[in-house]
Structure 1
Amino acid sequence: MPHSRSSGPPGSRDGRDIAAADPPFIIDRQSGTPLAVQVADGLRDAATTGALRGGDRLPSSRELARQLGVSRTVVTAAYDQLHAEGWLDGRHGSGTYLTAAPQRSAAPSTGGERTNPLAGLLDLGAGAPSIETLDPAAWRRAWRTASDRAPLIRRDRAGEREYLEAVSEHLLRHRGLGPSSGANLLATSGTSAAVAELAAALLEPGDTVAIEDPGYSRAAGALRAARMRLTPIPVDADGLRVDLLPADTRAVYCTPAHQFPLGARMPAARRVELVEFARRAGAFVIDDDYDGELRYDTAPLPLLATLAPDVVVHLGTTSKILTPTLGCGWMVAAPAITGAVLAYRELTGTSASPAGQMVVAALARHGDLARHLRRLRREMPARRTLVVDELRGHGLDVRGDDAGSHVAVILDSPTREDRALAAARESGIYLDGLGRNHIGPRHTFGVALGYAALPAAALPAAVRRAAAILATA
Structure 2
Amino acid sequence: MPRGDTALPVTLDRESNVPLAVQLADALRESASSGHLRGGDRLPSTRALADRLGVSRTVTAAAYEQLHAEGWILGKHGSGTYVTTSPPAPRPERRSVVEREEAPSARLALLPGVPWADGLDKAAWRRAWRASADTPPAAYLPRAGLAEYRAAVAEHLLRHRGLDAGPDSVLATGGTTAAVIELAAAVLRPGDLVAVEEPGYQRAVQAFKRAGLRVAPVPIDGEGLRPDLVPGGVRAVYCSPAHQYPMGCRMSASRRVELVERARAHNFLVVEDDYDGELRYDVAPLPLLASLAPDVVVHLGTTSKILTPTLGAGWMVAPPAVTTAVLEHRELTGTRPSPAGQHVLVELARHGDLGRHLRRLRRELSERRSMLVTAFGRAGVPVLGDDAGAHLVVPLPTYEDERERLAAGKRRGILLDGLARHFARTPTAHGVAVGYAGCSREGLADCLATLVELVRPRPR
Shorter-chain TM-score bucket reads 0.7 to 0.9
Query: Which whole-Å CA distance do the structure 1 matches of 2:95 and 2:236 have between them?
Result: 42
Q: Secondary structure at the match of 1:233?
A: strand
TM-score (norm 2): 0.77
Identity across the alignment (%): 55
**Which of 109, 120, 129 in structure 2 is aligned with 1:123?**
109
Query: Which whole-Å CA distance do the structure 1 matches of 2:189 and 2:353 have between them?
Result: 42
Where does structure 1 lack aligned partners over 5 or more consecutive residues? 1-107
Query: Which whole-Å CA distance do the structure 2 matches of 1:360 and 1:146 have between them?
Result: 9
1:85-164 alignment runs, 5 A limit: 111-114=96-99, 115-116=101-102, 118-164=104-150
| 1:207–1:229 CA contact under 8 A, matched in 2 | yes
Indicate the residue corresponding to 1:402 in structure 2: 387
Query: What whole-Å deviation, never above 9, does each CA across 1:389-419 have from its counterpart, x for those lacking one?
Result: 2223332221001111111111111111111
RMSD: 1.7
1:399-438 alignment runs, 5 A limit: 399-438=384-423
**Which of 240, 243, 247 in structure 1 is aligned with 2:228?**
243
Q: Secondary structure at the match of 2:367?
A: helix
| 1:183–1:332 CA contact under 8 A, matched in 2 | no
How far apart are residue 472 of structure 1 and its match?
Answer: 6.5
1:185 and 2:177 equivalent?
A: no
Indicate the residue corresponding to 1:215 in structure 2: 200
How many residue pairs end up in the alignment? 365
1:74-85 alignment runs, 5 A limit: none
Indicate the residue corresponding to 2:245 in structure 1: 260
Distance 1:113 1:174, change over 3 A: closer
Indicate the residue corresponding to 1:31 in structure 2: none
Q: Secondary structure at the match of 2:374?
A: helix
How far apart are residue 154 of structure 1 and its match?
Answer: 2.3
**Which of 290, 308, 330 in structure 2 is aligned with 1:345?**
330
Query: What whole-Å deviation, never above 9, does each CA across 1:260-316 have from its counterpart, x for those lacking one?
Result: 111111121111100001111110000001221011211111110011111000000
1:284 and 2:264 equivalent?
A: no
Distance 1:206 1:110, change over 3 A: closer
Query: What whole-Å deviation, never above 9, does each CA across 1:309-341 have from its counterpart, x for those lacking one?
Result: 110000000000000000010000011100000
TM-score (norm 1): 0.75
Q: Secondary structure at the match of 1:286?
A: strand
Indicate the residue corresponding to 1:173 in structure 2: 159
| 2:375–2:448 CA contact under 8 A, matched in 1 | yes
| 1:183–1:335 CA contact under 8 A, matched in 2 | no
1:377 and 2:366 equivalent?
A: no
Query: Which whole-Å CA distance do the structure 1 matches of 2:107 and 2:184 have between them?
Result: 35
**Which of 294, 299, 308 in structure 2 is aligned with 1:314?**
299
Query: Which whole-Å CA distance do the structure 1 matches of 2:197 and 2:374 have between them?
Result: 28
**Which of 364, 367, 376 in structure 2 is aligned with 1:391?**
376
Indicate the residue corresponding to 2:344 in structure 1: 359
| 1:259–1:290 CA contact under 8 A, matched in 2 | no
Query: Which whole-Å CA distance do the structure 2 matches of 1:402 and 1:247 have between them?
Result: 34
How far apart are residue 117 of structure 1 and its match?
Answer: 5.3
| 1:212–1:235 CA contact under 8 A, matched in 2 | yes
Where does structure 2 lack aligned partners over 5 or more consecutive residues? 1-92
| 1:206–1:229 CA contact under 8 A, matched in 2 | yes
| 1:261–1:448 CA contact under 8 A, matched in 2 | yes
Matched AA of 2:391: H
Deviates more, 1:425-434 or 1:110-119: 110-119
| 2:197–2:239 CA contact under 8 A, matched in 1 | yes
Indicate the residue corresponding to 1:95 in structure 2: none
| 2:192–2:214 CA contact under 8 A, matched in 1 | yes
Matched AA of 1:134: L
